[in-house]
Structure 1
Amino acid sequence: MSFRLRAAHSDDLEPLYEMAKLTGGGFTNLPPDRDALGKKLQRAADAFGRDDDTLGDDQFVLVLENAETGDVRGTCQLFTQVGQQWPFYSYRLNTLTQYSKELDRTVRAEMLSLVTDLEGASEVGGLFLHPNERAGGLGLLLARSRYLFIAMHRARFAEKILAELRGIIDDRGGSPFWDNVAGRFFGMSFQDADYFNSINGNQFIADLMPKHPIYVEMLSDEARKVIGMPHPTGRAAMRMLENEGFAAEGYVDIFDGGPTMTARTDNVNSIAGSVKAEVSATDLEDGEKALVATGNLTTFRSTYGLRKLGDDSAIAIDAACAKTLGVKAGDTVWSVAK
């Protein structure tokens, strides 16, 4: 069974909506709301259709498709510049050190400060794989194909890139972090606030959230323990990000306290290691396992395959990969070792 990642279009609304209902909450970029998803797809269509190959305020939506049946079984998104329509807020975890000469005592206090440090960075997010397809490396195909898309359209992305991981959600669908921090000021449950944010953006945080730093020691044990911790289902995603060169630098999500990972865009391993080449043959039987992509914007496609790089900027790929991508000898592809 072959899968490929491709650019999303308006016909993908219903499969995206059905997947959104399976997320379990805390998934801002994939809300279970047809109108909101329709707007995302329209914004993506505008981004795919923009001819100016420069950095803008774009959102790209990609979907994982069964190449044999056409069924959509996963999705991911890319944002070229966060914080352009409304401020991009994070909490920054830092330490305040104070010393008393009279007591001869040093006190170090961890604090959460509301910041917009990451404004203007690109973001990879919205990754969701249907529960029935969480095997065979499809999550890795979703995640790493985004970086090939960036490499192929590098001028459209910023110098820094981030990824937000969903934080800890309890059995009730609530967030210990939200309940003990922002929830105290808003009179809204985590689910209500998260849904409102996914539909309307987080400007309401700027309107109502106190701007003073929050002392971590004043929070409950439950809230302190989840700061910077990914949801159990996101631990594999965190490892994949670390393998790409992302690092947690003290930024956490304002809603659920999940970690925000950052990297220099050109230093992301799958971007730095990507190779552009012309297809010389499509009948390779033994080669290096790789991710292979082709197309431009709306025609972008990516899948797994075998490759053999030549010395003359040429590449041979296997027949299954060529069929899934719809490429032939003479076409151009980008690839990175699996």
Structure 2
Amino acid sequence: MSGTGTFVVRAARDEDLAHLYEMAKLTGGGFTNLPPDRRALKAKLDRSHAAFERDEPSVKDELFVLILENVTTGEVRGTCQIFTLVGQHHPFYSYRISTLTQHSRELERTFRAEMLSLTTDLEGSSEVGGLFLHPGERAGGLGLLLARSRYLFIRAHRARFGDRILAELRGVIDEAGGSPFWDGLAGRFFGMNFQDADAFNAINGHQFIADLMPKHPIYTAMLSESARAAIGLPHPSGRAAMRMLENEGFAFEKYIDIFDGGPTMTARIDAVRSIREAREAAVVACDRDGGSEALVAHGRLSDFRCSFGTVREVGDQVVIDPGCAQAIGAREDSTVLHVGRL
């Protein structure tokens, strides 16, 4: 378990570009929100800077990029992203799994056909994505810190987000880096392999999907067995992320990614557990005299910082440990957000 105050989640800065690029090269493909392309990453940082600088309580199409830093060594060890409003400049496409039931009186048989329909149902949602943790840090709950820090950020800036939130999980990728789902469906129409399509999408957006993807429903029975088997399944490395999302109240409502068939998880923002259970309180003291393990956040916009800490409630105020207080820049009389560590 990582000690309190050792790691902090903070706003991304210009000097984080090199770290983001190095992490992007470790993703292994299929990670659209973290492409191994310096220009695309720089564009994300520029967009994030603009979002952090705007201080108005209204919802616009914005991106916040957060960074996980070891405050002892200064090393960047992870990243995550929050999109406030998807599908505003380009359609946000998903496949929706549906079933068509037909009955033949002559044959006395009922046929149930599963179909994939191209949809923009999730347009206007907020999105949590782009979460990547350095392979050397996948212990001690740091993935949980990265993931849940986003919900405390949303809670601290609630007016900047909509009513619904989604998370796309990477789908099944084979040993060669290809996608059985893509090869069995979209690849037939596009004449591109998954790696090329994924790289193009990460840098240029997926308007080309709108231009070339067939608009009529696809019967899954007509896909290859490997493509059908991948529908709605997360990449093995994403199973823990799926469990974390389910613990927060996200559910799989039969929306899947159009590239790799991975599941899209959705929730109402105010029903997300970390947002719903987070409490705002003034810090009455900083000491090490016990308390409950928690995520603690302090500061707004570019000053936002979140870390593990111990919290002891004293009436409607809290006592937090000094390590956490130092990491997040809080002191006595500061106001913090805290939520119990699951």
The TM-score, its normalising length taken from structure 2, stands at: 0.98
1:213 alignment partner in structure 2: 217
The residue type paired with residue 64 of structure 2 is F
- C-alpha displacement of 1:310: 2.4
SS in 2 for 1:292: strand
Aligned to 2:310: 306
1:265 maps to: 269
> Which residue does the alignment assign to 1:190?
194
**Distance in 2 separating the partners of 1:310 and 1:114:** 52
Unaligned residue ranges in structure 2 (runs of 5+): none
Corresponding residue of 1:74: 78
* Structure 2 residue identity aligned to 1:153: H
2:20 alignment partner, one of 5, 16, 22: 16
Q: Give the structure 1 partner of residue 176 of structure 2.
A: 172
Instruction: Provide, for residues 272-295 of structure 1, a one-character-per-residue CA deviation record: whole Å limited to 9, x for no partner.
Output: 000001100111321010000000
Deviations 1:28-87 (A, max 9, x none): 000000000000000000000112221110100000001112111100000000001100
CA deviation string 1:273-330 (max 9, x = no partner): 000011001113210100000000000000000001222x211101111121121101
Match of 1:142 among 146, 166, 174: 146
Residue 290 (structure 1) aligned with residue 294 (structure 2): yes
Count, aligned residues: 337
Q: 2: CA distance between counterparts of 1:38 and 1:319?
A: 35
1:318 is aligned to 321
Counterpart among 259, 271, 282 of residue 278 in structure 1: 282
Is the CA contact (8 Å cut-off) linking 1:180 and 1:220 kept in structure 2? yes
Distance 1:27 1:164 in 2: 10
- Quick one: which amino acid aligns to residue 255 of structure 1? F
Q: Name the CA distance, whole Å, in 2 between partners of 1:229 and 1:124.
A: 18
Conserved? CA contact 1:284–1:307, under 8 Å: no
Aligned partner of 2:323: which letter? A
Confirm or deny: 8 A CA contact 1:226 1:258 kept in the other structure: yes
**Structure 2: how far apart are the matches of 1:323 and 1:49?**
24
SS in 2 for 1:256: coil
* Matching of residue 4 in structure 1 with residue 8 in structure 2: yes
Letter in 2 for 1:222: S
Letter in 2 for 1:116: T
Instruction: Indicate yes or no: 2:127 matched with 1:123.
Output: yes
1:156 aligns with 2:174: no
- 1:37 aligns to what? 41
Deviation at 1:215, TM superposition (A): 0.4
Paired with 2:314 and 2:288, the residues of 1 have a C-alpha distance of: 13
Task: Work out the percentage of aligned pairs sharing the same amino acid.
Answer: 66
Deviation at 1:9, TM superposition (A): 1.2
1:329 to 324, 327, 332: 332
1:96 maps to 2:114: no
Question: What amino acid sits opposite 1:93 in the alignment?
Answer: I
Q: Distance in 2 between matches of 1:292 and 1:99?
A: 57
Q: TM-score, normalised by structure 1?
A: 0.99
Which residue type is aligned with residue 291 of structure 2? Answer: G
Structure 1 residue 197 displacement after superposition: 0.4
1:6-25 Cα deviation digits (max 9, x unpaired)? 00011100000000000000
Name which of structure 1's ranges 281-290 and 80-89 shifts more when overlaid on structure 2: 281-290
* Over 4 Å off, 4+ runs: none
Partner of 2:233 in structure 1? 229
DSSP-derived class of the 1:28 partner = coil
Paired amino acid for 1:94: S
Residue 155 of structure 1 aligns to a residue whose secondary structure is helix
SS of equivalent to 2:245: helix
Displacement of 1:5 in angstroms is 0.2
Once residues 55 and 295 of structure 2 are traced to their aligned partners in structure 1, the CA distance between those partners, rounded to angstroms, is: 26
Shift of 1:141: 0.2
Supply the AA of the counterpart residue of 2:219.
Y
